[in-house]
Amino acid sequence: MRTDLFDFDLPAGRLALRPASPRDAARMLVVRPGEALRDQSIADLPQWLQPGDQLVVNDTKVIAAQLSGRRLTRGGEPTIDATLIKRLDGSRWQALVKPARKLATGDVVRFGNEGKVCLLGHLDAEVEHKGRDGEITLSFSFHGPVLDQAIADLGMPPLPPYIASKRAPDERDAADYQTMFATRDGAVAAPTAGLHFTPQLEAALRDRGIGMQRITLHVGAGTFLPVKAEDTAGHKMHSEWGTISRETAEALNAARANGGRIVAVGTTSLRLLESAAEEDGTLKPFAGETAIFITPGYRFRAVDILMTNFHLPRSTLFMLVSAFSGLDTMKRAYAHAIEHGYRFYSYGDACLLFRDKPSP
């Protein structure tokens, strides 16, 4: 499909720079294909679901993947900013760096800044490989849990570029940019639909008889990459690592057999569930990489309802929601959201999408 089919005008003022407080006070647009749009709030979520439905949340935890340092080799010591995007093994990470032109294979970068002490006060990494578009492989001087702690001590949360370009990250973001479910380190971007949840909302959902299941997809920086190809067929989707336990798969299969619906909290949960689904919708345990790219025409097998934030024009995420509820429906929903002041992107409001049922 042509990429420009997924374009729309988004005023700059619709970008949310801070989350709602409390988190479940954010707005929620309910989208049912063929029905009127409904303006609600996140706190209203339980009334839109039924006893026996199962919410599936992503329990990945965002690491402090934004590092700043300086090049030690070849003189000059220019400042280097790096965003870790994918762990390769116990001591090596893929990273995006700026300015990439200042680094060459074999260079050593020392990460650290005033006011933060990490073990010996700094963290060194050698540039092992340099690829295109500013992507490099860093081999760190520490390994395993020691490296993890060093990164946590020296790094900052890697805010999405459309927020970071408007303001600098700060200490508030360390808490704001984590979901209440975050327990498994590995993401470099938050599964942002989960940011809306509070203990009070979880209790209200459980009181209504709605289950909650956890899966893990470590969100990568590729989620921010625009689609540059003129046709979706020419876009290469990034891969991310995820896991669904046998117990979770069995619980979801049992709920669906009893008439319950699967409600994905976020596109990350949906992508992992669809990656683990058989043709008949049965979920199987999963552990590995997924690079599933969902565009209109895709036949959903596992997910019945999707809760998600509002996404960028021409993004793979807007393509996904258009596949789920219909392109015309989503263009109408986004136009309504823009007109009525909904806040977009990671810290913004949400929509509750019901799946478009194909004609028999």
- Report yes or no: 93 and 182 within 8 Å, Cβ to Cβ: no
Q: What is the pTM of this model?
A: 0.91
Which secondary-structure segment (H or E) carries 97? strand 92-98
Task: Give the torsion sign (CA, 225, 226, 231, 232).
Answer: positive
> Structure tokens of 100?
């990439």
Residues 242, 272: contact at Cβ < 8 Å?
yes
Q: Cα(94)–Cα(156) distance, rounded to whole angstroms?
A: 17
According to DSSP, the residues that pair with 346 across neighbouring strands are: none
Exposure pattern of 19-50 as b/e (b: 16+ CB <10 Å)?
Answer: bbeebbebbbbbbbbeeebeebebbbbbebbe
One pLDDT digit (tens) per residue for the chain, 360 residues: 999 999 999 998 899 999 999 999 999 999 999 999 999 999 999 999 999 999 999 999 999 898 999 998 887 788 999 999 888 899 999 998 989 899 999 999 999 854 444 445 689 999 999 987 668 999 999 999 999 999 988 888 888 878 888 888 888 888 999 999 999 998 989 999 999 999 999 999 999 999 999 999 999 877 767 788 899 999 888 889 999 999 999 999 999 999 999 999 999 999 999 999 999 999 999 999 999 999 999 999 999 999 999 999 999 999 999 999 999 999 999 999 999 999 999 999 999 999 997 644
Angle in degrees, 0-180, between the axes of helices 327-339 and 316-325, rounded to the nearest 10:
110
State the residue for tokens 């619709």: 14
Dihedral over Cα of 282, 214, 16, 95: its sign: negative
Tokens of 199: 């203990």
> Domains along the chain?
3-62+174-354 (3.40.1780.10), 66-155 (2.40.10.240)
